[in-house]
Structure 1
Amino acid sequence: MSKRLGKGLDALIPSLSVNDDDKIVEISLKELRPNPYQPRKNFDHESIQELAESISQHGVIQPIIVRKVLKGYEIIAGERRYRASEVAGKKTIPTVIRSFTDQQVMEIALIENVQRENLNALEVATAYQALMEEFKMTQEELATKVGKSRSHIANFLRLLSLPDAVKEHVSRGTLSMGHARSLVSVKKEEVIIALANKAIEQEWNVRQLEEAVQNLDKKKEDSTKSKTKKTDPYLVDVEETLRDRFQTTVKIKHSNKDKGKIELNYYSKQDLERLLEMLNQM
């Protein structure tokens, strides 16, 4: 198993690593089928083509991991190598056969992709939800499984409440995870969509979108007049640091004589408890 996967997969399923004692067999590509729990829906064509060229010259260096199913074999790890072998015109591929439960297969597919950062935010969120529903996991149990914090899990799951049009933008990458997270607190679907479209059209960064969300309930004499607010670069940097640390909207309000206040937004009782827990640990 590639070291790029870190310790997550090895800790979850130690037998996933291929060693010298393993029996490597050549299996026909026709007998293989992709992992049905694979959260990644889009594979980069260019990277598959590059891998196919390498396989044509050097063969498949690292065997893929499969499990025996009713009809043929199911890929546990190595779907890119399988797809690239098809492109390269290979008839067989070196494999190691393992025995895994459905839950293990699902976890492996998720962790492998998340650690390789091949999934977009919506694919990760959908995979997290599927794991929790399929195997009756709590957020904390899932966080332990995938090596993430509970707040990380909660933030991704909140994305699933967004309108489909906005989720599509996140999937395509026209809106970032930070943009999407800023919109979760808005209640009206039409307002969410309007803000998302405006953020894309005007190329707002996350902070600008957050300010637009915060100003929704404020009355303005001229709604079409844009106001340029002078900000301290240092405070902007601190806000970004705190936003990443607490995984929520953060606002620093600076007054005269170096005084001010820091506001942390929460969107549910559970979210508030998460923030209080983090603050108590500091």
Structure 2
Amino acid sequence: MKKKKIGDCLSQIEINDIAPNDYNTNVMPPSAYRRLVEDMRENGPSAIDQILLRKAGEELRKVGKRFEIIDGFNRWKVANELAWKTIPAEVRDVSLEEAKVINYRKNSERGTIDPFREAELFKSEIDAGRTHEEVAKRYGIDRSQISYRLSLLKISGRARRLIDVTRVTPSQLEVIAKVARSADQELLAKEVRDRGLGVRKLELRAARMHRLRPIRAERLKDCELKMLVDMVANVYAACEDCKARGSCPDLMAELKKYRKKK
């Protein structure tokens, strides 16, 4: 194809010469994606900014790809769906490490980061031998954010599949990640998905799970059971969820087991 080169820029690149990257942290809600499709269908290439590319690495070149996306995956994906032959693009002469930072910062500016992909990105940096402080400085974020995001990797795959990352906050995910049992993580994920529980209510639910899961009522004396009931009643007196449902369902299940043993 005939290319117009201005410095490191190529005005048009063939769609089939481009491959997505494996470090993209972007997430786009379905409604926004549909709007992008309609805009690009109606207005053509003039509807979008140039996507950012870099020259493909050896592995991609082996499968016939000449460029790798730095930023603009969804625009490239829509162009594919609309059967465009080419797409406006700028090719930058940057390394893989530089491309990761550009991608992350572009997505941060738009506020469209998938927390799980963000966690995987930071883990890859840590695995490469960088400290939390070095990663934080590299991506222009607070050091504590590295630890918070890495904690999300504790969430099981089944729980992740219940989570719509476009409708939850990282703070909600951090609460789920603190729960040890994968089954409990799934229950909390469902609570967020189906009932939209906020951070405070999630914390109360997680704390109740933490206190009750290790307890087996049949092993307790009557006086210990009374203390348990009083403790739960006091700790969760302010929990609107418990007030609405009445007695704590987890505790009641354990007490039923105890009564059967008597």
TM-score when normalising by structure 2: 0.64
CA contact (8 A) 1:114 1:124 kept: no
What secondary structure is seen at the aligned counterpart in 2 of 1:84?
helix
How far is the alpha carbon of 1:200 from its aligned partner? 4.9
**Matched residue type, 2:102:** I
CA contact (8 A) 1:170 1:176 kept: no
CA contact (8 A) 2:53 2:92 kept: yes
Encode CA deviations 1:42-94: one digit per residue, 9 max, x unaligned.
Answer: 674313313413542x6366333322333422222333332333344432223
Encode CA deviations 1:197-234: one digit per residue, 9 max, x unaligned.
Answer: 4555554322122123334427226979x965399xxx
Are 1:74 and 2:68 matched, yes or no? Answer: yes
How large is the Cα RMSD of the aligned pairs? 3.5
Are 1:178 and 2:171 matched, yes or no? Answer: yes
Distance 1:95 1:128 in 2: 27
How far is the alpha carbon of 1:151 from its aligned partner? 1.0
Alignment partner, residue 26 of structure 1: 12
Are 1:49 and 2:37 matched, yes or no? Answer: yes
Q: Which has the larger radius of gyration?
A: 2
What secondary structure is seen at the aligned counterpart in 1 of 2:202?
helix
In structure 2, the gaps of 5 or more residues are 1-5, 213-227, 241-262
Distance 1:104 1:43 in 2: 27
Distance 1:139 1:42 in 2: 28
Alignment partner, residue 113 of structure 1: 107
Relative distance call for 1:222 and 1:202 in structure 2 (3 A) is farther
TM-score when normalising by structure 1: 0.60
How far is the alpha carbon of 1:108 from its aligned partner? 2.0
CA contact (8 A) 1:76 1:105 kept: yes
How far is the alpha carbon of 1:156 from its aligned partner? 1.1
How far is the alpha carbon of 1:157 from its aligned partner? 0.9
Distance 1:184 1:73 in 2: 37
Relative distance call for 1:229 and 1:145 in structure 2 (3 A) is same
Are 1:35 and 2:44 matched, yes or no? Answer: no
**Matched residue type, 1:164:** G
How many positions carry a matched residue from both structures?
210
Alignment of 1:230-245 (within 5 A): none
Among 34, 41, 46, the residue aligned to 1:59:
46
Report 1 or 2 for greater relative contact order, CA contacts < 8 Å, sequence distance ≥ 6: 2
In structure 1, the gaps of 5 or more residues are 1-19, 232-282
Distance 1:202 1:86 in 2: 37
CA contact (8 A) 1:29 1:86 kept: yes
